[in-house]
Structures are given as C-alpha cells and as structure tokens.
Amino acid sequence: MPLEQQPILLRIFRNHHLRFVVFGLLLATMPYMSNWGIIRVSMLTTVASILIYAIAALGLNLLLGYSGLVSLGTAGFMGLGAYLGGFVLNDLSASIWVAILVAVAVPTLLGILVGLVSLRIAGIYLAIATVCVSEILLKTFAELESFTGGMRGLTIRYPVVFGVQMNRELMFMVVVVALVLMMMLTYNLVNGQFGRAMHAMRGSESAAQAMGINLLKYRLIVFALSTAYAGLAGVMYVLFIRASYPTTWDIMLSLNLVAIIIIGGLRSIYGTVIGAFVVFGMSDLVLKRLPIIGDMTGVPYVVTGILIVVMILFYPSGIRHIPQDIKRLASKIIKRGKKHV
C-alpha cells in the first residue's frame, strides 16, 4: 500500500520523529494531571528528574553503546553544566538561552580534551581517567564557594522566558522538549554517517582505519557530544530543581547512568528512557509504596544490582527486548494450541 494511502496512525508509528513527538506530548500532559489532582505534585518532580537523567544517559549511550568507549565521569560534567547555568543566571543576570549555551559549550570543550586523552588509553584506564576528571570537578564544586556556593549549594529562581515567568509546570515542559530534541538528534546521528563510523570503530578500530575512518575525528566528536548531553542535562536539572549541591554529582550518579544503559539496552533510545525510569523512578514510584519494603533503606540499590545481573545473564541487549520475547512466547503457545485442536 502506498504511504499516502496508509492510515495516519500507522504512518505516525513508522515515522520515528513523529513517535518522539507523540511521546513528548504524552509526557506534557502530566502537569495538567497534577493540577487536576490525578497525580501528586511530587511525582511531577520525580518524572522531571528521570527525564533529565535520561538526557545524560543518551549521551553516555552514544559513547559506550555506539563507539565502545567507557566513561565514568558523566556526573561531573552534569554538575559543571548545572553550576555554569546557575552562575550565568544568578551572577551575570543573563537569559536562559545564554545559560544553556554556556552550560553546554564548556563541558563540550572539556570533553574534547578527554577525547584527546582517549587516543592513548582505552578500556579500564580510560574509565579511571574519566573518574579522575569527575572527582576533580566534584572537589572544585565543594571548595570554590565564590562560584558554586560550596557545600551550602547554589540556588536560583525560575527564569523569565519571552516575558513569561516560568514555574514548575512550564519548566517541566522545557525538560520534555529538551528530551524529545535529544532523542531526535540521537536518532539522526546513529542512522547517518556518524553512526556507521561508530559501529565500525566499536567492531575493530584497525578495520575502521583501513576503511578510511579518522579515529581522532570521531573520538573527539563522540566525547564532545557525550559531554554536551551531560551539560544540557545539568542545566536542565538546576533550572527545574532550582538548586545544586556537590553531593549530587558524585561517582554513584555516574554508575547509575551506566546502569540505565545496561538495563535499558545499549544502542537503544527508548531503552535508555525506560532504563532511567527503572533506575531513578523505581524507588519513588513503586518501592516506597509497597508495605514493609517501602520503609527499608537501600532497597533500590539492591534491586538495581539484581536487575543488572539479570540483564547481563538473560537480556544482554537490555529490557527493550522483553516485549519481543513475550510476543514470540505467546505466538508459540497459540501455535501449539492450534495443533492440539
């Protein structure tokens, strides 16, 4: 059937960009549901945080999933984006657009420097190097009080955008728009020349070089993109939460972002978002509502650890493949039933 004769819903389902937009529209209904009392206000904050972490995880998935490079310093770059955005808004009294630009540009430049380092080291040593960069940034956040507020933290007010005073609901919309745009950008990147080069590099760097792929160029690009995503996530965090503390940007956050990719699935956009809901949303949205378990501290970490082990053993491609396996199992059961009949 020609494309123009297909039902509009089928065309939307097949167009990835339209699917991202529909996904964003569904998320955008949450502030109205909160105002109508259908969901609690605290749930809106939880979901916004999940979406922000999903943005950072998308960038990390580009690095880890598509190029095979390891980084455990994403939290540090997120923190840098958060503090830069807050500084620009508070101390420079600049617009939100300048804050976002600075919060993305500076971590990107730092990411390029890390990309240069990655040419000489790889594997676990690269992971250690990125942890060192993140810890240096974390120490800077704690000690540079004139810039970050030190352990007291940095606080800001909701900015004014196009003459409109932002609030929690409007900032939630901004976070949703940022996530949808990053999902679109990621899809375009991985399905173009950049994605093909990343696939080749992940398979064999020697073969990639033999095909004429410039390793220096693409390593710098992927590190720059990963840190740009982290910087954007950081500034979205401070714009929505209106506060940033050094303890937020520790190594545990970086490990949780890696857990998102392992649970959700490498090289999967929707899997990354689902993984963010599992890792960062399970505690507030599910576990805390259960009797007995909800009163126990540390249970989310235990559940996350168990899920990682289960995913590695049974679903190394991530949770996104579970519906497909359920569909295959159901199909087999139906076929067996028909044979017996």
**Is the CB of residue 300 less than 8 Å from the CB of residue 283?**
yes
Q: What H or E segment, with its residue span, contains residue 212?
A: none
CB burial class (10 A; 0-12, 13-18, 19+) of residue 119?
A: exposed
Q: What is the pLDDT of residues 80-103, one digit of tens each?
A: 999 999 999 998 888 999 999 999
Give the model's pLDDT for residue 162. 85
Q: How far apart are CA 79 and CA 257, in angstroms?
A: 14
> Which whole number is the average pLDDT over 234-253?
94
Set out the domains of the chain in order of their start, with CATH numbers: 3-340 (1.10.3470)
Place of tokens 């490079």: 69
Report the pLDDT value the prediction gives residue 173, as an integer from 0 to 100: 94
Tens digits of residue pLDDT in 118-174: 777 877 888 898 999 999 999 999 998 888 888 889 999 999 888 889 999 999 999
Helices (H), ranges, the chain: 8-14, 16-28, 30-35, 41-61, 74-90, 96-118, 124-143, 145-148, 168-190, 193-203, 205-210, 215-241, 251-264, 269-285, 299-314, 322-340
pLDDT value at residue 235: 96
243-244 vs 154-155, strand pairing mode: antiparallel
